């Protein structure tokens, strides 16, 4: 599918994604509010970028087919909580 134009969800908004670490490495990404969104990245950064692109494509298809766009999970103008992984502590 060729992208015609980038669909911009509401400014400062985000959809919650699940990043599942895979045994062979990398992350599989799913988006509960947008079930067609399933992607993968070898690194967390690549998985995030691929998820962003997959969400934009999904929203574009939904708009073109007249489907309702789910409300974003978060307004990014407020504080953001994020887990920060660290190595083994105290070993």
Cα atoms in the Cβ-side hemisphere of radius 13 Å centred on 56: 15
Backbone angles phi, psi at 41, to 5 degrees: -145, 145
In terms of pLDDT, which residue wins out, 55 or 83?
A: 55
pLDDT at position 91 is: 59
Q: What is the pLDDT of residues 22-76, one digit of tens each?
A: 999 999 999 999 999 999 999 999 999 999 999 999 999 999 999 999 999 887 7
């Amino acid at each position: 599918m060729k992208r015609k134009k980038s669909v911009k969800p509401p400014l400062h908004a985000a959809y919650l994604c699940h990043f599942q670490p895979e045994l062979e490495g990398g992350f599989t990404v799913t988006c509960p509010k947008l079930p067609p969104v399933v992607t993968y990245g070898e690194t967390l950064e690549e998985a995030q970028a691929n998820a962003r692109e997959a969400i934009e494509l999904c929203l574009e298809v939904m708009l073109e087919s007249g489907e309702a766009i789910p409300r974003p999970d978060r307004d990014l103008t407020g504080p953001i909580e994020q887990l920060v992984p660290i190595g083994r502590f105290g070993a």
